Amino acid sequence: MKPFDFIQPQTTDAALAALAEHSPNVRILNGGTDYVVELKHVAQSPGVVVDISRLQDLKGIEITDAGLRIGAGVTHSEIMADPLIAEHAPAMIDAAHTVGAVQTRNLGTLGGNLVTCVPSMDSGPTLLALDAQVTILGPKGSRQIPLSEFFVFVRKTALEPDELLLEIIIPKENLGKPAGFIKFGLRKGQALALVNAASAFRIEDGKFKDVRIALGAVAPVVIRAAKAEAILEGQAVSEDLINEAAKIAVTEASPIDDFRASKEYRNDLIEVGARRTMQAALAAANA
Amino acid sequence: MTDITLTVNGEEKTASVPPETTLLKMLREDLNYTGAKLGCDVGDCGACTVLVDGIAVNACLMLAGQAEGKNIETIEGLSTLEEYHPIQKAFEDVASLQCGFCGPGMIMSTKALIDQGEELTRDDIKDALSGNLCRCTGYTKIIEGVIDAYEEITGKKVPETNPRAA
Ligand SMILES: Cc1cc2nc3c(=O)[nH]c(=O)nc-3n(C[C@H](O)[C@H](O)[C@H](O)COP(=O)(O)OP(=O)(O)OC[C@H]3O[C@@H](n4cnc5c(N)ncnc54)[C@H](O)[C@@H]3O)c2cc1C
Ligand code: FES
Ligand code: FES
């Protein structure tokens, strides 16, 4: 690793001050499961590394007036063990469980996962399907934006160098919304997603409502399959429509073709993943 | 340089290292705990697994500064020269390991798993060790060793089949 200065603030204010002082030659570190790997390979020192892993404001999972609030510093292991998440957003547990292996999940945080903004991130699809919002803190105070606007491009988010991600909020109306998540990798543990997917909808009067279908590893950022969603929205519940929507979802993605899997194979996975997550959401709605 | 004070296997230790030092490097090169191994250096193999405040982490992915004030457990803390820890004993009895390079990581992951105090199935064990790669054994005897250790330590039985499997 190239030499850098290391700061370990104990409060969020101190962290923001450090970011403001050293921006743009400053980088945030939390679990390090992505960034420490990067630090080992970069040709240039980041200047200053601010370790935010001690900030209490980034911890905790709770129900607030806005909905389910998950601190950006909550680890994947903490998500898997949390009773509120199990009750209100269980698909997040399925997603967290697929991240790396135990050691990675013990250090890696939800916020860190979202900020990496890699197409294959496993927490993205479920959160997008549940219309998650994110709160960003910076020198000018805090701002809240939808997660869909947070993802800008591969490895690029809406964060400025002097800002940090504080929390992720699943809006109140989506707590308990039936949802399903799936990940396809080359093996069960320690494998990046070839394709991952999440679906969520409500069933009202026998009709699909507020349909969300999100796909990962198939475009520069995690995307929603809007045309597939439209196939179901407002229609009477049917397996045939789910099958049709899954086929349409493939047309909305642009997966890569590489040594791990061909484009054709990934397209098949998109259809299967979209279909199975819709079926899982339907099963949850009927449960 | 960053001055670091932490506890390793119950003893307070201090070191002064450059900020770009990983916990693994500090343990091995500054504090002489060479049990945790450097394998891949990117979080894939688990050879560097140690426990930090009771949870298994890849020491190659944690900066030394992040371990400030933490309680670290390494393989050196498990046995004395006279007596093996029950996990080590079980691994020896069933010949879990061949070259042994993955051993310290496998054993520390196993310790973290058993320390959680939950009822374990074979699938739970596989899941808990999926971040520990072994290039020699094919894993079967490692899982047998973990099952024996768990049963010895807790007095419980690992079910033959996983009742939670779909
Ligand atoms: C072996 C291995 C396997 C992995 N497998 C998977 C996998 O299967 N699926 C998957 O999705 N990911 C995987 N990852 C990637 C990584 O573990 C996750 O993305 C993890 O959630 C990152 O969180 P972190 O806290 O470790 O982030 P860090 O490495 O600390 O940071 C990552 C990035 O986010 C920034 N950052 C972190 N927190 C904040 C914040 N609160 N505000 C602003 N910026 C912030 C950092 O500056 C950095 O750019 C794997 C990594 C490893 C090493
Ligand atoms: S050396 Fe740390 S995981 Fe391989
Ligand atoms: S025994 Fe050689 S790597 Fe596991």
Q: What does chain A look like in DSSP terms, one character per residue?
A: ----EEE--SSHHHHHHHHHHHTTSEEEESS-TTHHHHHHH-SS--SEEEE-TT-GGG--EEE-SSEEEEETT-BHHHHHT-HHHHHH-THHHHHHHTSS-HHHHHH-BHHHHHHH--TT-SSHHHHHHTT-EEEEEETTEEEEEEHHHHEEETTEES--TT-EEEEEEEEGGGTT--EEEEEE-SSSSS---SEEEEEEEEEETTEEEEEEEEEESSSSS-EE-HHHHHHHTTSBP-HHHHHHHHHHHHHT------SS--HHHHHHHHHHHHHHHHHHHHHHHH-
Let me know: does A126 contact A89? Beta carbons within 8 Å. Answer: yes
Among B151, B83, B84, B137, smallest CA distance to B106 is for B137
pLDDT(A200) > 50: yes
pLDDT(B161) > 80: no
Let me know: does A226 contact A245? Beta carbons within 8 Å. Answer: no
Section B83-90 average pLDDT: 96
Report the separation in Å between the CA atom of B7 and the middle of ligand 2, taken as the mean of its atom positions. 21
Query: Is any atom of ligand 1 closer than 6 Å to the C-beta of A121?
Result: yes
| Residues of chain B contacting residue A31, judged by C-beta atoms under 8 Å apart | 61
Query: Is any atom of ligand 1 closer than 6 Å to the C-beta of A118?
Result: no
Among B39, B29, B43, B28, smallest CA distance to B74 is for B28
Choose the closest CB to A104 out of B19, B43, B112. Answer: B43
pLDDT, mean over chain A: 97
Section A133-142 average pLDDT: 97
Section A23-36 average pLDDT: 98
| Residues of chain B contacting residue A4, judged by C-beta atoms under 8 Å apart | 19-20
Q: Which ligand is nearest to the CA of A104?
A: 1
Section B4-28 average pLDDT: 98
Mutation target for A interface from B51, B57, B124, B129: give the one with most A CBs within 10 A.
B57
Nearest residue of B to residue A49, measured between CA atoms: B19
Q: C-alpha dihedral over A117, A123, A128, A132, to 10 degrees?
A: -100
pLDDT(B114) > 50: yes
Strands (E), B18-75: 49-52, 55-58, 71-73
Rounded (10°) angle between helices B86-93 and B103-115: 130
Q: Is pTM beyond 0.90 here?
A: yes
Among A279, A219, A222, A217, smallest CA distance to A245 is for A279
What is the ipTM for the molecules in this complex? 0.95
| Residues of chain B contacting residue A6, judged by C-beta atoms under 8 Å apart | 2, 19, 63, 65
Which of B26, B40, B50 has most ligand 2 atoms within 8 Å of CB, for mutation?
Answer: B40
- Which pLDDT score, from 0 to 100, does residue B162 have? 53
Let me know: does B97 contact B103? Beta carbons within 8 Å. Answer: yes
Q: What is the DSSP letter of B139?
A: S
Distance CA B78, CA B107 (A): 9
Let me know: does A224 contact A149? Beta carbons within 8 Å. Answer: no
- Which pLDDT score, from 0 to 100, does residue B160 have? 82
| Residues of chain B contacting residue A39, judged by C-beta atoms under 8 Å apart | 20
Class of domain A5-51: alpha beta
Structure tokens given for B7? 């506890």
Q: Which ligand is nearest to the CA of A110?
A: 1
pLDDT(A84) > 50: yes
Distance CA B73, CA B32 (A): 14
Class of domain A56-174: alpha beta
Structure tokens given for A34? 């992505």
Sheet with A61-63: strands ordered across: A61-63, A67-71, A164-171, A133-138, A141-146
* Residue appearing with tokens 């699938």: B123
Q: Which ligand is nearest to the CA of B106?
A: 3
Q: What is the DSSP letter of B76?
A: G
pLDDT tens per residue, range B39-69: 999 999 999 999 999 999 999 999 999 999 9
Distance CA A270, CA A218 (A): 8
Choose the closest CB to B63 out of A6, A101, A102. Answer: A6
Section A213-218 average pLDDT: 98
Query: Is any atom of ligand 2 closer than 6 Å to the C-beta of B39?
Result: yes
CB–CB of A100 and B62 under 8 A?
A: no
Measured from the Cβ of residue B138, the count of other Cβ atoms closer than 10 Å reads 9
pLDDT tens per residue, range B117-151: 999 999 999 999 999 999 999 999 999 999 999 99
Structure tokens given for A248? 């349409």
Let me know: does B49 contact B109? Beta carbons within 8 Å. Answer: yes
Sequence ranges of the domains in chain A? 5-51, 56-174, 179-286
Query: Is any atom of ligand 2 closer than 6 Å to the C-beta of B104?
Result: no
List the domains of chain B with CATH numbers.
Answer: 2-74 (3.10.20.30), 86-154 (1.10.150.120)
Section A245-255 average pLDDT: 97
Question: How far away is chain A from the Cα of B130, in angstroms, using its nearest Cα?
Answer: 6
pLDDT tens per residue, range A224-240: 999 999 999 999 999 99
pLDDT(B164) > 80: no
- Which pLDDT score, from 0 to 100, does residue A188 have? 85
Amino acid at A86: A
Distance CA A87, CA A108 (A): 22
* Residue appearing with tokens 């590893």: A217
Among B103, B70, B67, B99, smallest CA distance to B85 is for B103
Among A187, A177, A184, smallest CA distance to A210 is for A177
Structure tokens given for B69? 């004030």
When pLDDT is cut at 50, 70 and 90, the band that residue B80 belongs to is confident
Percentage of chain A exceeding pLDDT 70: 100
Let me know: does A203 contact A237? Beta carbons within 8 Å. Answer: yes
- Which pLDDT score, from 0 to 100, does residue B166 have? 43
Class of domain A179-286: alpha beta
- Which pLDDT score, from 0 to 100, does residue B144 have? 97
Measured from the Cβ of residue A275, the count of other Cβ atoms closer than 10 Å reads 21
